Amino acid sequence: MACENNAIKHELLIRRLQYRLKRQGMLELDVWLSPLHQALASQNIKLTQSIEEILMCEVPELLAMQTGQRPIPEELKQWLNISS
């Protein structure tokens, strides 16, 4: 029962993150973040946590990350086409 409950919680988290990835309020950000939908499908917990972390940022912070003015989590660089 506890395992089933955790699976449901994880599925709800994934769905919530997928929704938020599409709703940043700027088409440029939506397009830039779109590869993270595939990243969520990988079921990698650390990657999911990094996506959740980046989605807590405000639009100006995300734009700064997109332009390289602010660092992004290392796990996301390959998905967002940013070299180390």
Grouped pLDDT means (10 residues each) for the chain, 84 residues: 76 91 87 92 90 93 93 91 64
DSSP H or E run through 50: helix 45-54
DSSP H or E run through 20: helix 2-21
pLDDT of residue 51: 94
Angstrom distance (rounded) from CA 13 to CA 9: 6
Q: The tokens 């079921």 sit on which residue? A: 43
Domain boundaries, given as residue ranges, for the chain: 2-76
pLDDT of residue 64: 95
Angstrom distance (rounded) from CA 43 to CA 49: 11
pLDDT of residue 48: 92
